[in-house]
Amino acid sequence: MSDSRQPGVSDAQLERPELESHLAATWRTPGGLWGVLSTVDHKIIGRRYIVTAFVFLALGGVLALLMRLQLAGSERRVLSADWYNQVFTMHGANMMFLFAVPVMEAMAIYLVPLMVGTRNIAFPRLNAFSYWLYLAGGIMLWTAFALNMAPDVGWFAYVPLSGPQFGAGKRADIWAQMITFTEIAALAVAIEIVVTVLKQRAPGMTLQRIPLFVWSMLVTAFLVILAMPTIMIASTCLILDRLVGTHFFNPSEGGDVLLWQHLFWFFGHPEVYIIFLPAVGMVSSLVATFAGRPVFGYLAMVLALISTGVLAFGLWVHHMFVVGLPRVGESFFTISSMSIAIPAGVQIFCWLATLWDGRLRFRVPLLFVIAFIITFVMGGLTGVMVASVPLDTQVHDTYFVVAHFHYVLIGGAVFPLIGAIYYWFPKMSGRLMSERIGRWVVGLLFVGFNLTFFPMHVLGLLGMPRRIYTYSPEMHWDALNLFSSVSATILAAGFLLFFIDVIRSLRRGPQAPENPWGASTLEWATTSPPPGYNFPRVPVVGSAQPLWDEPESLAVACGLRVDRRELLITSVVSAQPQAREASPRNSIWPFFAALASTLMLIASIFTPWAMVWGSVPVLITLIGWFWPKGDPEDEG
Amino acid sequence: MANRTLPLTLPIALLCSGCTGWQSVLDPHAIQASRLEQLIWLFVAVCGVVWVTVTVVLVMALLRRKTPYSHTDTRMTRIVRAAVIATVVIITGLAIVSFYATRGLSSSDATALEIRVRGYQWWWEVTYLDARADQVFITANEIHVPVGRTVSLQLAAADVIHSFWVPNLTGKQDLIPGRDNTLSFTPREIGVYRGQCAEFCGLQHAHMALLVVVESAGAFEHWRQGQLAPAATPRGGEQETGKHLFESKACASCHNIQGGTASGTVGPDLTHVASRRYIASGLLETNRGSIAAWVADPQTLKPGNNMPRVALDASELNALSAYLAALQ
């Protein structure tokens, strides 16, 4: 790689201390507000993304508690019908679009470049832009809620209820535009991840040596790229129906209300896997580390991830089993929905085999894995139940389904996520979290969750529909609802304790070494937290568990310049070095571009002309962003 | 208080409501609901066994004393492969059972009682269909059917999507603007079963209930004849005044009462409103007091519903409620 003809300073010519000071200067994020707004460091943006997503988790949790307060007894008047409808819509939209998907992508923004051994994510300015746009979308939604104009049509916003005739005011428009914000952000991150994984892996990290978490994020990123455009088309059609009088969804003018449901769920079901697959990757990381052996069945795990990703697009109709579709079509979707249990089963069995064979260390992250398996398997099995058309006609849109998807989403994604935070927190912050408090957090979350949500299965079978703001005492749902509401406080206490532990550990946690858990993947081969340039020299990988198989010292590649930001580009399959690529410097333009886009998108809720006039500032900021640098982009 | 007794009451509540609920999947009173209940228990049993098995294996894996790599990967591969095959077999079995259950639910019966149900925000319009026009009548929120005869519902929606769900009788089916759906059930036992809208339909989605009254063939025929008849004539001055008020105030522009001049079609048909067990879609039991309360202030009782508050003084309200409460 070393090349004496190249201009500038190459890392091959430098000793370690000098190398590090050069790299630190080149990759540095300046202090002050300017640095905050202009940084393109994936670790800073990733941390920001994670923190923001957890703020939205806390806010969404407060909404959940409000709903539990309202439903704790029959005919309670904590919330009016109007507020309740806003609250449950906000809870769903917030948790799906502002918490679950962004937090998973945020973990990837932070971890994937480190795990594949590169210095920054691909398209780092797009990454900065994506964060600002996501933040703006979240602020817009919550501001609307504070102004009593939050969407009240459900997170699924079915027409005609959300259409121009029945969705009065700007509430449904706020929902539709929030989709635009978060989906642009999500698509941007997905593209960055795909390129980072395929083109920026450390030399030697062939496809069969990619860590399972990175595989899961790669599959997830493809799901985002394929699924999100559908919802953007749907929400754009909805805005057009509402703002300029088109009739995409108006049956009396030749439109179709079911078209909305098809488009929504063609996105909406893969969305579940966009949330779940990263969690699968996290679990694989945790299981391998705390069982002290590689995950059993690497190839089977990768194939399971990919087949889940493919099948995810073939089962959206199971959300529509009671709309009156032809029987043959419904049967097809029963088969496809149930068959997703096969890759899920493969993953569970492989983890069990790993745990069976491994020498376990019962640290907090592993406890979360245990809570995950017990809870998620239950959610998966009720998933098999709702995949059956006849069975679904009884439980669809009841609290049975509410229980089911909370088992899948909290048990299947949030438990692994919190476990992952305990696991990667030392890397991100340089400090360890408390093992003692962590055990309490696992216990409270696991017990609180199951006590809160298990009774909802029964409530659903006893006839309680979803999305009702109150119920009559004649229904005899009081006892179970009260039980669920009281248990929700345990669950909330678990989350509260988790947040306390995070804040406490940030200030007083013990210093973390490079590799506190004795893990095998590359993110543990650099300091905690990593420097701006991630690795002083790009690591070279000779196995799937580089830190286990080469414990003494990792091989490194050299030849990258240190006086400008450079990355190593490698080939897709075998990760052979191909080129040195310039990586963009810090820039304020992504922030301005996001600001201009935000103004345009929010104004377009009120007038279609905003798209015309609003595009001018966006254009100006993009010109600033892409102004030629005069440097060669890459060198072979 | 409620908190303290909860651990005791919970299992009892579970047991009781499981067997006697009037809006419960687990208390079937029609052929379709019975089949669905059996299907549910079958799935619960199979899934329960799977869950227990996985959990037991997990616990064993956690508790095992082990030397790492004690098991060769080939042996574990065999076990994992067997587990995957078992998954495929279970999934296939459940899918086949599902298909047969679906086939068993769809029945075409030429002698079925044909009823059209139209969903409105937030009530149900019920039309009994008949080839002879003079046998057709309209009611709301309460469906009477004879026991043992298959009922075929034609489901339509007037505004947004609703979903018809009476769990004791059969599974749900959506009512969708611009589409026609059907749903049939064959009640087996006399009784009153409650249902409510299962698709979020706006502000008062929670207050969109209906009753299905399953009765003997004789009782049903008696009821049907009563519904076909025009409204009861007012008795006494107060009811006369009530009728006059109904027809001269805003009421008549939305509601129909057969046999008078009120012929609105926006709201529920009130020809036999007092014969129905509830008013306002399951909100209040029907009696003169609840009718008066509803007319006096519909927006407090069911905020956002389409019935405006009509200004009436006390004696007018009294007369109107007397009249309506007599519409048996």
The verdict on residue B290 lying in a domain is: yes
Q: Do the Cβ atoms of B203 and A476 come within 8 Å?
A: no
Contact of B174 with A320, CB cutoff 8 Å:
no
Domain co-membership, B189 together with B252:
no
- pLDDT exceeds 80 at position A18: yes
Percent of chain A's residues with pLDDT above 90? 90
pLDDT band at A580 (very low <50, low <70, confident <90, very high): very high
Of the partner residues A81, A293, A338, the one whose CB lies closest to the CB of residue B203: A81
Return residues 123-142 of B near A (CB < 8 Å).
Answer: none
Q: Closest Cα partner for A419 from A521, A279, A309?
A: A279
Q: With bands split at pLDDT 50, 70 and 90, how would you rate the model's confidence at B109?
A: confident
The highest-confidence range among A241-245, B20-24, B71-75, by mean pLDDT, is A241-245
Give the helix/strand (H/E) hosting A441. Answer: helix A435-461
Q: Where are the alpha helices (DSSP H) in A124-211?
A: 124-146, 171-199
Supply B69's token pair: 């790599």
Torsions phi, psi for A466 (to 5 deg): -75, 165
Long-range contacts of A617-624 (CB under 8 A, 24+ apart): A618/A593, A620/A596, A621/A589, A621/A592, A621/A593, A621/A595, A621/A596, A622/A589, A622/A593, A624/A589, A624/A592, A624/A593
Q: How confident is the model at residue B64 (pLDDT cuts 50, 70, 90)?
A: confident
User: What residues make up the domain containing B308?
Assistant: 236-325
Q: How far is A323 from chain B (nearest CA, A)?
A: 5
Interface test with A, best of B67, B77, B160 (most A CBs within 10 A): B160
DSSP summary character for residue B283: T
Q: Are the beta carbons of B227 and B139 closer than 8 angstroms?
A: yes
Encoded tokens for A30? 């300046």
The pLDDT of residue A7 is: 57
Q: Do both B243 and B169 map to the same domain? A: no
- Which residue blocks in A509-556 are alpha helix, DSSP H? 546-549
pLDDT at A2 over 60: no
- Chain Cα centroid distance, residue A416: 12
Distance from CA of A396 to the nearest CA of B (A): 8
HEC string for A33-59:
HHHHHHCCCHHHHHHHHHHHHHHHHHH
Distances (CA, A) of A333 to A266, B99, B194: 12, 12, 30
On the question of pLDDT at B18 being above 80, the answer is no
Q: Is the pLDDT of residue B72 over 90?
A: no
Q: Which residues of A touch B84 (CB under 8 A)?
A: 342, 345-346, 349
Q: CA-to-CA distance for B7 and B3, rounded, in angstroms?
A: 8
Q: Does residue B270 sit in the same domain as residue B177?
A: no
**B254 and B179 within one domain:** no
**Which residue matches tokens 């007319």?**
B295
Whether residue A352 and residue B88 make contact (CB cut-off 8 A), yes or no, is no
Is there a contact between A475 and B27 (Cβ–Cβ < 8 Å)?
no
Angle CA A276–A280–A284, to nearest 5:
170
Whether B2 has a pLDDT exceeding 50, the answer reads no
Q: Report residue A12 as tokens.
A: 């091959």
Residue B63, Cβ density class (10 Å: 0-12 exposed, 13-18 middle, ≥19 buried): exposed
Q: What is the pLDDT of residues A351-372, one digit of tens each?
A: 999 999 999 999 999 999 999 9
| Overall residue count recorded for chain B in this entry | 328
Using the structure block, give the residue that is written with the tokens 């049907």. Answer: B224
Predicted complex ipTM: 0.93
Q: Name which of B318, B139, B328 is nearest B240 in CA terms.
A: B318
SS (H, E, C) A310-333: HHHHHCHHHHCCCCCCCHHHHHHH
User: How many angstroms separate the first and last alpha carbons of chain B?
Assistant: 42
Q: What are phi and psi of B114, to 5 degrees?
A: -95, 120
Residue B73's pLDDT is: 76
- List the structure tokens of B240: 């006369």
- Tens digits of per-residue pLDDT, B223-281? 999 999 999 999 999 999 999 999 999 999 999 999 889 999 999 999 999 999 999 99
Q: Rounded to an integer, what distance in angstroms lies between the CA atom of residue B73 and that of residue B80?
A: 10
A198 Cα to chain B: minimum distance (Å)? 30
Cβ proximity of B278 and B142 under 8 Å? yes
State how far the Cα of A82 lies from the Cα of B304, in Å rounded to an integer: 9
Quick check: is B15 in a domain? Answer: no
Q: Which residues pair with B284 in a beta bridge?
A: B279
B45 confidence band (pLDDT: 50, 70, 90) = very high
- Confidence at B68, pLDDT banded by 50, 70, 90: low
Facing A390 at nearest CB: one of B18, B83, B101:
B101
Q: Between chains, do A388 and B206 touch, taking CB under 8 Å as contact?
A: no
B206 in contact with chain A, both atoms CB, cutoff 8 A: yes
- CA torsion, ordered A270, A272, A274, A279, to nearest 10 deg: -150
Same-domain status, B179 and B261: no
The pLDDT tens digits of the residues spanning B143-180 come to 999 999 999 999 999 999 999 999 999 999 999 999 99
Rg from Cα positions in chain B: 26
Helix (H, G, I), strand (E, B) or coil at A135: helix
Give ∠ CA A204-A209-A211 in degrees, rounded to 5.
125
For residues A441-449, give the mean pLDDT: 98
Among the partner residues B24, B161, B205, nearest to A467 by beta-carbon distance:
B205
Q: What is the mean pLDDT of residues B2-29?
A: 63
Same domain, B266 and B321: yes
Both B142 and B119 in a single domain? yes
**pLDDT above 70: percentage of residues in chain A:** 98
Residue type, B111: T
Window 213-232 of B: residues touching A by CB (8 A cutoff) are none
Is residue B219 a contact partner of residue B150, using CB atoms and an 8 Å limit?
no
Residue in B23, B64, B173 closest to A463 by CB: B23
Taking each helix axis from N to C terminus, what angle separates A415-429 and A101-115, rounded to the nearest 10 degrees? 40
- The CA distances from residue A559 to A374, A390, A465, A563, in Å, are 49, 64, 64, 12
Query: What is the β-pairing status of strands B278-279 and B113-120?
Result: unpaired
Question: Do B187 and B153 share a structural domain?
Answer: yes
Total residue count of chain A as it appears in this document = 636
Q: Give a yes or no: residue B297 inside a domain.
A: yes
pLDDT of residue A629: 76
Contact B174 A482 (CB under 8 A): no
Does some domain include residue B292? yes
- More confident: A628 or B1: A628
SS (H, E, C) A443-480: HHHHHHHHHHHHHHHHHHHCCCECCCCCCCHHHCCHHH
Kindly tell me if the per-residue pLDDT of A127 is higher than 80. Answer: yes
Verify whether the Cβ–Cβ distance B43 to A390 is below 8 Å.
no
| Position B71 pLDDT exceeds 80 | no
Which of A536, A543, A533 is closest to A575 using CA atoms? A543
CA distance B191 to chain A (A): 16
CATH number, residue B303: 2.60.40.420
Last residue of a domain, one of B206, B228, B250: B228
Burial of A195 (0-12, 13-18, 19+ CB in 10 A): middle
Q: What average pLDDT does range A120-132 have in this prediction?
A: 97
Q: CA angle, A37 as apex, A34 and A43 as ends, to 5°?
A: 115
Query: For residue A529, is the peptide bond before it cis, meaning its omega torsion is within 30 degrees of 0?
Result: yes
Task: Classify burial at A627, counting beta carbons within 10 Å of its beta carbon; exposed 0-12, middle 13-18, buried 19 or more.
Answer: exposed
Chain B 245-304, residues with CB within 8 Å of chain A CB atoms: 282, 303-304
Chosen from B52, B73, B161, B301 to mutate, greatest number of chain A CBs within 10 A = B161
Asked if residue B97 is part of any domain, the answer here is no
User: Residue A91 burial (CB < 10 Å; 0-12/13-18/19+)?
Assistant: buried
Question: What 3-state DSSP class applies to A305?
Answer: helix
> Average pLDDT for residues B287-291, to the nearest whole number?
96
Question: Quick check: B69 pLDDT over 60?
Answer: no
Over residues A218-230, mean pLDDT = 97
Surface of B (52-91) touching A: CB under 8 A: 54-55, 57-58, 60-62, 64, 66-71, 73, 76-77, 79-80, 83-84, 87-88, 91
Query: How many angstroms separate the CA of residue B145 from the nearest CA in chain A?
Result: 21
Residues 6 or more apart whose CB falls under 8 angstroms from that of B56 comprise none
The mean pLDDT value of chain B amounts to 91
Contacts of B21 in chain A (CB under 8 A): 462-463, 476
Same-domain check for residues B195 and B244: no
In angstroms, rounded to a whole number, what is the distance separating the alpha carbons of residues A121 and A374?
Answer: 35
Looking from the CA of A621 toward its CB, the CA atoms found within 13 Å total: 22
Q: Which residues have C-beta within 8 Å of that of residue A13, sequence separation ≥ 6?
A: none
**C-alpha distance from A550 to closest chain B C-alpha (Å):** 19
CA-CA distance, A409 to A415, in Å (whole number)?
A: 9
- Taking only the tens place, the pLDDT of each residue in A254-309 is 999 999 999 999 999 999 999 999 999 999 999 999 999 999 999 999 999 999 99
- B153 φ, ψ (degrees, to nearest 5): -100, 135
| Residue B82 is assigned to a structural domain of this protein | no
Q: Is the pLDDT of residue A114 over 60?
A: yes
As a whole number of Å, the CA-based R_g of chain A is: 25
B89 within domain boundaries:
no
pLDDT score of A26 more than 80: yes
Structural domain count, chain B: 2
Looking at residue B20, what is its pLDDT?
A: 61
Assign A606 to helix, strand or coil.
Answer: coil
Domain match, B197 and B160 both? yes
pLDDT at B5: 46
Q: B197, B228, B259: which is the final residue of a domain?
A: B228
**C-beta of residue A487 within 8 angstroms of C-beta of residue A452:** yes
Mean pLDDT of B66-70: 59
Which of B194, B228, B262 delimits the end of a domain? B228
Shared-domain flag, residues B262 and B316: yes
Q: Report the mean per-residue pLDDT for chain A.
A: 94
Cα–Cα distance measured from residue A163 to residue A160, given in angstroms and rounded to the nearest whole number? 5
pLDDT higher at A5 or A44: A44
Sign, CA torsion A408/A409/A414/A416:
positive
Q: Tell me, what's the pLDDT at A3? A: 42
Range scoring the smallest mean pLDDT among A565-579, B12-26, B59-73, B201-215: B12-26
pLDDT over 90 for what percent of chain B? 85
Cα A99 → chain centroid: 7
CB proximity list for B46: less than 8 A, separation 6 or greater: B90, B93, B94
Instruction: Tell me if residue B193 falls in helix, strand or coil.
Output: strand
pLDDT band at B103 (very low <50, low <70, confident <90, very high): confident
Q: Is B153 on the interface with A (CB under 8 A)?
A: no
Q: Is B1 on the interface with A (CB under 8 A)?
A: no
Cα–Cα distance for residue pair A613/A611, rounded to 1 Å: 6
Supply A179's token pair: 């989709």
What is the number of other CB atoms lying within 10 angstroms of the CB of residue A632? 10
Interval A167-191: pLDDT, tens: 889 999 999 999 999 999 999 999 9
Kindly report the number of other CB atoms within 10 A of residue A552's CB atom.
Answer: 4
d(CA B270, CA B57): 63
Q: Residue B315: inside a domain, yes or no?
A: yes
Taking residues A61-88, what's their average pLDDT? 97
